[in-house]
Amino acid sequence: MDSTGPMGQVLSSRVAPLLENFLQGSVLDTSKDVLIHRLRGLCDNAENQPEIFHDHEIVFIMQGNPNQQPMYFHVRHSLIHPESWHVRYLGVAEVGDKNKLTLIRHCVDAGASSNVVDFLNEMGFKIDYEFIAKGYFFHKGRMKVTVSKLYKILQPGSTDQVEPLSQSHLVELSVVAPRVQEQIGEDMKNFAEQLKPLVLLEKIDHKRLQQSLESR
């Protein structure tokens, strides 16, 4: 993990470092309902309607030493429950070798109050980008599944004027745990198998994506 990063010291000293195991995939909008149906059957609380969310995510960036990776904070603001704000730090995801069944990254989650944006601004963070995520949330034991549609914000500051990004919903399967446990990877792999061939949940190589972005 990024033990040399700006979060490294914090993680190793005071805050208990949590690890997020995750897999990512997507489903075309036309097949989304089939997936929701299947997830309802596979996950807990099958008898209830799936939980929905409608969030505004703002990503803040702080570039410390230019030689280091910049630090990102993801602030999520629920548009359904406007009083709830959430800050999340995410480390760089490790692809690892083939034995690792999932991607693994450091994460720190914290609830926040509505002035978190001002606070981060005061700290010297800058807004890097923002988007709207709207979708469904499921859980099965400690596994969490989100199916979300991403929207581009057309007018900065206005969360009503949005435009969908791509014809697909993003699907993420994740488990947050205090340390690396192989059983988690096994469980997630098995779960992902059950969603095939509807959705292919896999380890997406983030470094490669970033490189392809930068090369353009």
For other proteins, the binding residues (CB under 8 A) are: 24-28, 30-31, 34-35, 57, 59, 61-67, 70, 121, 124-131, 133, 150, 152-153, 156-157, 165-168, 170, 197-200, 204, 206, 209-210, 213-214
- Whose CA is closest to 57, among 37, 72, 40, 77? 77
Encoded tokens for 204: 């997406």
Residue 69, Cβ neighbours under 10 Å: how many?
Answer: 15
Which residues on adjacent β-strands are paired with residue 89? 73, 108
Is 17 or 26 the residue whose CB approaches other proteins more closely? 26
Minimum distance between the CB of residue 70 and other proteins, rounded to whole angstroms? 5
Residues 105/18, Cβ–Cβ less than 8 Å: no
Q: Measured between alpha carbons, how far is 54 from 132 in angstroms, rounded to an integer?
A: 7
- For residue 178, the minimal CB distance to other proteins (Å) is 24
CB of 20 to other proteins, least distance (A): 13
Which of 65/183 has CB closer to other proteins? 65
Of 68 and 181, nearer to other proteins (C-beta) is 68
